[in-house]
Structure 1
């Protein structure tokens, strides 16, 4: 069960919010089924084992994801938070989180979808109430709606990730330069 979700945003809550891709265009839903939600929780590293989610867990996850996205967007743009979105996020964050346990072989975290979702919501609370807010940027790919934490030197990062967006735009810019170069026009 590996769907290879992307974790390029620098914070689990931002990566979670990015599971609805291309919000301004074709909108691609990463949580189409319960097993895809389970896969995200496992691949994120927040849990080592997840109890199988059901459709109700998926709907709850989508609601919390949209609350995170709305609140991150508002904070990033310097706008007021929507009260309904605040309540939704805080309700999820108030549920029991995934709790790591020490075992003979190291740390292990087993959780239900609700516990894992609470953990994601708590990451969102910490992000939005913490020092990383000025480091939040939206990817410069006009089709991408990921918000990421820019910890690059001089805060000059433009893309959520080079593999996901940066390489596409660098290649497109190169092709455009080649097409409009004097040598290309003469040929």
Structure 2
């Protein structure tokens, strides 16, 4: 798996949770350095143009929030009670000052410190899990993928986090299996 960031989950908090990919098998970490966290904040649209200047401690804090978000999302999917420590981590990050977009002559512009950028992501988690979209959460149907997304599709029929990362692979594996007369697997 590539260390490149993907933004297919439909919410920055879910995309942050997906920065540890294939949690059940390969466990591919994408937040491997402060520069990768800076790139994630830029790619997620949390900041514009300038990187927040993350340090190793910021990566550690982002990973801590990421794991707390994933624990809360997983509990929601399973209909379980939220873990108190995960709640404290996300709420603590969300309570800090957040990135503030500014309107400029050329459009929106957001600069942030690493803590402000992480606070913005944590607030996305609070809004998602505390709002109506929490009922729409689904995990990707690819057995190798652990991304979660709100299924906003008509009839709630979406099966994958995205066609590019998972849907095409699952469909191709199913096609190959049908051609061989064997059972379909995503890894094929």
The answer, yes or no, to whether TM exceeds 0.5 is yes
More moved, 3-12 vs 138-147: 3-12
User: Structure 2: 5+ residue runs without aligned partners?
Assistant: 183-188
Kept in 1, the 8 Å contact 2:101–2:109? The answer is yes
TM-score (norm 1): 0.93
Query: Could you tell me how far 1:123 is from its partner in structure 2?
Result: 0.2
What is the match of residue 20 of structure 2?
20
What is the match of residue 106 of structure 1?
107
Q: Distance in 2 between matches of 1:51 and 1:133?
A: 29
Kept in 2, the 8 Å contact 1:35–1:53? The answer is yes
* Secondary structure of 1:6 counterpart: coil
Larger Cα Rg: Structure 1 or Structure 2? 1
Query: Could you tell me how far 1:50 is from its partner in structure 2?
Result: 2.5
* Secondary structure of 1:148 counterpart: strand
Question: Which contiguous aligned blocks of 4+ residues in structure 1 show a shift greater than 6 angstroms?
Answer: none
Q: Distance in 2 between matches of 1:97 and 1:141?
A: 34
* Secondary structure of 1:52 counterpart: coil
Alignment of 1:154-165 (within 5 A): 154-165=155-166
Q: Distance in 1 between matches of 2:13 and 2:75?
A: 15
User: Structure 1: 5+ residue runs without aligned partners?
Assistant: 182-187
More moved, 136-145 vs 96-105: 96-105
Q: Distance in 2 between matches of 1:95 and 1:175?
A: 50
> With CA pairs under 8 Å and 6+ residues apart, which has the higher RCO, 1 or 2?
1
Kept in 1, the 8 Å contact 2:160–2:167? The answer is yes
Residue-by-residue CA offset, 1:143-185 (whole Å, 9 max, x unaligned): 110001111111111111111011001001001111129xxxx
Q: Distance in 2 between matches of 1:166 and 1:105?
A: 37
Q: Distance in 2 between matches of 1:101 and 1:170?
A: 43
Kept in 2, the 8 Å contact 1:5–1:40? The answer is yes
Residue-by-residue CA offset, 1:60-116 (whole Å, 9 max, x unaligned): 000000000000110111101111111011000001000011222222100111100
- RMSD, aligned α-carbons: 1.2
Kept in 2, the 8 Å contact 1:4–1:43? The answer is no
Kept in 1, the 8 Å contact 2:52–2:117? The answer is no
Query: Could you tell me how far 1:4 is from its partner in structure 2?
Result: 4.3
